[in-house]
Chains A and B, each alone.
Chain A
Amino acid sequence: MTTLHVQTTINREPAEFLCEPVETLLDALRDRLNLTGTKEGCATGDCGACSVLFNGRLVPSCLVLAAEVHGQEVLTVEGAAHGDTLHPVQQKLLEHAALQCGICTPGFVVAAKALLDHNPNPTEEEARYWLAGNLCRCTGYDKIIRAVLDAAESMRSDTREVTV
């Protein structure tokens, strides 16, 4: 099998790796680039633990071929924070104790960031449907949804402060 040379942008930095044509983005992130924050829960696109942003779009990285990201942009959970500053979703998940085992948390961070990028003021129902592709077995979702809505509110008030 031919090995492919992929040049891409991951978490705002240039990145390159070699991969097999059949290799998933999930495997390349974890095994080639050591970005193990992206988790495999099912490898069939059903659990959301491997969620990443592909050119800003929320995708399960287990259903994307690694070679597809050549020349494109990927954001993983490792890129959600900026330096010492956590993304508000990360901060609010901590404050609300919205994680137990934490295996689904990276996927929720990425998916919730994507939600708030698209919709800064989601209703509870909108948040629940947007995040319906991310399975959590520990929390019953209550605290996760509260954290995401709280993060949305804090981001909106931050924006207001800037624009005033």
Chain B
Amino acid sequence: MSGERKFRYVGTRPVRHDGLDKVTGRANYGADFTLPGLLHGYVLRSPHAHARIVSIDTSAADAVPGVKAVVTGADIPKSTAMLSLGGGKGGFDLADMGDNLLAHDKALYEGHAVAAVAATSAEIAREAAEQIAVVYERLPPVLTVDQALAPNAAILHDRLVTKGQPLPDAPTPTNVAMRMELRGGDVDKGFAESDIIVEYEFTTPMVHQGYIEPHACVARYGEDGQILVWTSTQGPFIVRDCCAGILGLDAATIKVVPSEIGGGFGGKIPVYLEPVAIALSRKAHRPVKMVMSRDDVFRASGPTSGAKVRMKIGVKQDGTIVAASGSLYYEAGAYPGSPAATGAMCALAPYKIPNFVIEAFDIVVNRPKVAAYRAPGSPSAAFATESVLDEIARRLGFDPIDLRLKNAVEEGDAAPYGPKYGPIGLRQVLEATKNHPHWQAPLGPNQGRGVGCGFWFNAGLSSSATVSLSSDGSATVVTGNPDIGGTRVAQSIMVSEELGIPVERVRATVADTDSIGYSDLTGGSRVCYATGMAVIKAAQDVRDQLRARAAKIWDVDVDSVAWNDGCAVPLEPADDRTPLTVHQLAEKIAQTGGPIIGRASVNAPMAGPAFAASICDIEVDKETGVSRVVRYTTIQDVGKAVHPSFVEGQMQGGAAQGIGWALNEEYIYSPDGLMQNAGFLDYRMPVASDLPMIDTVIIEVENPLHPYGVRGVGEVPIVPPLATVANAMRDATGIRFTDLPLSPPRVLEALARY
């Protein structure tokens, strides 16, 4: 175990090997790939938020010169299968995913795909698609949680029943796909014992992950049934298995080649284009490229749930939290699957609360089906909890960090969702937050300061890795996880650490699905943790084989060869037994037994939980309602930072996304359910001039589940910002904002009211 381990390469900041291709424009992303005879696909999408599809007549499109194939929902079998992740819990409902690819009976949101065309040019495909005659019978759109729950609400899915723990009077069919409940202690008694009770209802808007690269793929269906898919994805094996499951094919016939990926944040886990491209290619007998426009990306991929959260917390005069109750309602979009359950599990996770009840609802609405987005569910829940705690601290006259410290969970405390925490770093994070110079720095006029906290589980799941040694002593490491933020260089560092060779001599590659064992998605903050564990084990496999080679050279038993500082070392020294370096052993690789390949696969346990906090200073222009983050610090327990620069990058990027969610980002709909801001001009993500430098503090409380103590980094930094920004706004204006985003019109209106 890593307790006293001194690292030589872990914790250094080498330049990533894949960086050169990225700064020179050579790196190939989803849309950069081509094949001979390539056709271009175009998707016809529903102009209505909710409509029954009466008929689709594609004959006019079929007749357009240059059109080689047209497909509709009839070409996507109605699968009933579920696809699980790594054989474990969770997964994808392939019936819904297939229906989302091309609508079968109903268009469930504006932008829902209804047909697709492949033609010799993108223009011909688009013009032909516009000639497809779709007869719709419009239905009333259900756009919000409140509309979906109304007694006379239109129903999206005729057979939907509430799973989980439905309320006793739950109607059928319903728009409530799932209800769950977490309970502990006696919440009524807890509130009765409370000195102060604070309760608010909060809303957070539907937002998009906002990756800059639109979804793109190329598919080729061969005459022999062998299929090639080149695609930008977080999970090449997920794409393979979804395509196979939806289209009724054998997974082994599909080779998915992951391109470089231009951002994902959870949004590039599902399939949107790939099975459609395969279906088109099968009909056209030619490869088909499909690329989403930005408009498509907004209307038909991604977003994460808008949510409504009612949160009530009771405390004693000394700041001890004694009771909490919360109701969380998450918009799932057109099909079940919002992160309501994780939201409920995260909502109170940072605090010791003896009496609590949390209920969460997964609610379908006529909006695009939500996808994962960085710590799915947790930001909206934390926005509520952390805003209420801020208000409690004000009423008690407590420092808000002290209030959190007083109630912070520690090792051995039970999480509200059941298990007891192992070693966790919340206390260290909060202490570092309190001790940071930012917390005491003077504020300028019209400025306010807020603090907030957040939790995320981090995932484990399945990963595979191989490490191959070359005869010159350099090494390659291969995994199945697309590198979304520097994981290849982190994997090189791990191999260096195990073998004692410099990072420049270890090249990491992301392989296609034929060339590496099954690996779950890049997501859940799991690549450095779980895939890293596989990489370390594969490197250790190489190391053990090198020990065996040294034993052979020395003609001794392998048990009498140790590994020390990058060398095979004889435990019983002799004149002809001097330590052998990797380089020396590699040179003799052919004579001592042939190529050396280390391999490992892991099904990693749930990772070490992550806690983060942040401090935000905001400046508000009270004449215009425009606010600006003038200083931001994010503090996080990462377990162990393998490449600290990329760890900081995750923390800064998550903070920026959270700030965008807090201040400006939102899906805006017309009353009939049409998105009004499907472009970067009107969907306002933070730009460079919106933000200050984002200071980071890395806390390292080792995760005992990982050989180096890694926890996973990517997701939790987006959890604290929503409340942190709103708490800063409260400090600056005296107004408790409960609805995000804190856009200028909303701030101005509130300032006028108070």
Contacts and interface: CB of A to CB of B under 8 A. Distances in A.
B23 interface: yes
Interface stretch (A2-10, A40-48, A63-71, A152-160): A40-48
Max chain A CB contacts within 10 Å: which of B15, B294, B681, B687? B687
Nearest to B654: A140
A137 B212 contact: yes
Contacts of A15: none
Interface string A6-20: 000000000000000
Contacts of B29: 39, 103
Interface string A28-50: 00100001111111111011010
Contacts of B691: 128, 140-142
Given A42-B680, A135-B680, A137-B657, A80 B24 contact: yes
A159 B234 CA distance: 44
Interface residues of A, number: 56
A104 B20 CA distance: 14
Contacts of A44: 294, 679-681
A10 to B, nearest CB: 13
Nearest to B658: A140
Contacts of A99: 19, 22-23
Interface stretch (B132-140, B184-192, B259-267, B542-550): B259-267
Interface stretch (B64-72, B333-341, B439-447, B644-652): B644-652
A88 to B, nearest CB: 11
Interface in A125-164: 125, 127-129, 131-146
A132 B691 CA distance: 10
In this complex, the interface size class of chain B, counting residues with CB under 8 Å from chain A, is 35 or more
Interface in A47-63: 47, 49
B693 interface: yes
Contacts of B643: 97
B704 to A, nearest CB: 28
A65 to B, nearest CB: 15
Contacts of A35: 25
Given A140-B656, A141-B691, A109 B679 contact: no
B578 to A, nearest CB: 38
B694 A142 contact: yes
Contacts of B689: 125, 128-129, 131-132
Given A78-B24, A100-B486, A137 B211 contact: yes
B748 to A, nearest CB: 23
Interface in B144-164: none
Contacts of B423: none
Interface string B545-586: 000000000000000000000000000000000000000000
Contacts of B89: none
B25 A106 contact: yes
Contacts of A102: 18-19, 22-23, 27, 260, 262
A137 B685 contact: yes
Interface of B: 13, 15-16, 18-20, 22-29, 31-32, 209-214, 260-265, 291, 293-294, 484-486, 643, 645-646, 648-650, 652-657, 679-681, 685-691, 693-694
Given A97-B648, A101-B211, A102-B260, 7 more contacts: A36-B31, A44-B679, A78-B26, A99-B23, A135-B210, A137-B265, A141-B687
26 contacts: A30-B32, A36-B25, A39-B31, A40-B31, A42-B679, A43-B294, A47-B294, A94-B19, A95-B15, A97-B486, A100-B263, A100-B486, A100-B649, A101-B213, A103-B213, A103-B262, A109-B23, A127-B688, A134-B687, A136-B688, A138-B653, A139-B649, A142-B691, A142-B693, A143-B648, A144-B688
